[in-house]
Amino acid sequence: MMEINGREELCFPHLLNSSCRKPNLHWSEVVLWNIMQSFISLITATLNLLIIISVSHFRQLHTSTNILLLSLAVSDFLVGLLLMPLEIFKNTTCWFLGDIMCAAFCYLSWHIPSASVGNIFLISFDRYVAICDPLHYPTRISRGRVKRWVCLSWLWYGFYSIFFMKDELIRPGRNNSCLGECVVFINYITGTIDLILNFIIPVTVIVVLYMRVFVVAVSQARAMRSHVTAVTLQHSVNLKTKKSELKAARTLGVLIVVYLMCYCPYYCYSLVEVNLTSTSYASFLFFLYYFNSCLNPVIYALFYPWFRKAVKLIVTLQILQPGSCDVNIL
């Protein structure tokens, strides 16, 4: 086997004293791993784009709950379109995009997943009010109010990410040991604060809300079965509405379980490893962290018939026809 000299292994061969070495990765493993990650990135972006188009185009889907699903789809779409490809690029070759792009990527990799957490929290609260306080739901959860909540959530996590990334944003590349590297160092105090504010507190509130939703949903399901023989129109409408709310509650439960499965390994390992990006497990943990964005639209496809119907209309280009936004999609 031909020996490769040190100059050829450098990211920038003309800068011997400051250049990083190229990643020493086995070719076959890299190709298979990158093909799988690229495919999942494409699926993530495509499925979430379909959700964005569906909720934005069809008038029947312009509800408070679907506005929250739209916001979640936007954050998941950005994960598939930007974060996954850049993560693949960062882990398999030298970083040739410069320190400013590195700082921007690190900021987005903090901001966008954090916004997803905020969206899931708002969806949990929405379902809590819909199931546990249905009489006041129309007044407490209006579309205008939900839109303001979504905007405030994105702004909050934007400033939240700036606070934790301020040193890297002020002086990009400050943690890079050589040229061709893109790393961000999170000290133990910062990582602990993020763990509490961005995981423990939101997860605790989400789980408590859902447990309350689950208890009420079970009692409502029993009541529905005991009164299934009622024949009045009003009761039929109420029965249909309750079934819809219970189905949404079940979907929320699956969404939360998947969220915990994808996020827990990352945060649990960050407790014992200060600089997570420097470990050999970083690539897999970040991939699992981002994989949640691919699973969310799959959950919608399994539980929401309107999503499957909307996808059919989008793929067949029927949404380009006049008046397609008023099609009965529910």
User: What CA–CA distances, in Å, run from 133 to 62, 65, 244?
Assistant: 21, 15, 15
Rounded to the nearest integer, the mean pLDDT of the chain is 81
For the ranges 66-80, 127-141, 166-180, the lowest mean pLDDT is seen at 166-180
Residue 228 included in any domain: no
Report the distance separating Cα 280 and Cα 189, nearest Å.
22
Residue 10 included in any domain: no
Mean pLDDT of 171-187: 79
Cβ atoms < 10 Å from Cβ of 184: 23
Comparing 24 with 110, the larger pLDDT belongs to 110
Which residues lie closer than 8 Å to 206 by C-beta, 6 or more apart? 120, 121, 124, 256
- Confidence (pLDDT) at 137: 86
For the ranges 145-149, 248-252, 295-299, the lowest mean pLDDT is seen at 248-252
Whether pLDDT at 234 is above 70 = no
Unique residue bearing structure tokens 């105090």: 189
Mean pLDDT of 103-118: 90
Comparing 86 with 301, the larger pLDDT belongs to 86
Find the domain containing 122 and state its range.
Answer: 28-223+234-324
Comparing 235 with 205, the larger pLDDT belongs to 205
Whether pLDDT at 12 is above 90 = no
Which residues lie closer than 8 Å to 182 by C-beta, 6 or more apart? 90, 95, 97, 102, 105, 106, 176
What's the number of CA atoms in the CB half-sphere (13 Å) around residue 252? 31
Residue 11 included in any domain: no
Per-residue pLDDT tens over the stretch 189-219? 787 888 888 888 988 998 888 888 878 877 7
> Pseudo-torsion of CA 298, 300, 306, 307, nearest 10°?
-40
Comparing 107 with 216, the larger pLDDT belongs to 107
- Confidence (pLDDT) at 148: 94
Mean pLDDT of 138-147: 89
- Confidence (pLDDT) at 232: 45
Among 15, 84, 91, which residue's Cα sits nearest to residue 46?
Answer: 84
Residue 104 included in any domain: yes
Residue 13 included in any domain: no
Instruction: Name the H helices within the chain.
Output: 27-57, 64-78, 84-92, 98-132, 137-140, 143-170, 188-195, 201-226, 233-272, 282-303, 305-315
- Confidence (pLDDT) at 277: 52
- Confidence (pLDDT) at 220: 66
Residue 5 identity (one-letter amino acid):
N
Number of domains in the chain: 1
Comparing 171 with 1, the larger pLDDT belongs to 171
Per-residue pLDDT tens over the stretch 22-77? 777 666 667 888 888 899 999 999 999 999 999 999 999 999 989 999 999 999 99
- Classify residue 199 by its DSSP letter: I
State the distance between the two ends of the chain, measured CA to CA, in whole angstroms: 64
Mean pLDDT of 245-270: 77
3-class SS at 21?
A: strand
Report the distance separating Cα 327 and Cα 54, nearest Å.
11
Residue 254 included in any domain: yes
Q: Are 245 and 214 contacting, i.e. CB atoms less than 8 angstroms apart?
A: no
Q: 259: domain CATH number? A: 1.20.1070.10
Residue 12 included in any domain: no
Cβ atoms < 10 Å from Cβ of 173: 17
Q: Which two tokens stand for residue 6?
A: 């040190």
% the chain with pLDDT above 90: 23
Q: Which two tokens stand for residue 230?
A: 């009622």
Which residues lie closer than 8 Å to 98 by C-beta, 6 or more apart? 172
Residue 77 included in any domain: yes
Whether pLDDT at 227 is above 50 = yes
Report the distance separating Cα 277 and Cα 233, nearest Å.
59
User: What CA–CA distances, in Å, run from 8 to 5, 96, 144?
Assistant: 6, 16, 59
Per-residue pLDDT tens over the stretch 283-317? 778 888 889 999 988 887 777 888 889 989 999 98
Q: Are 10 and 20 contacting, i.e. CB atoms less than 8 angstroms apart?
A: yes
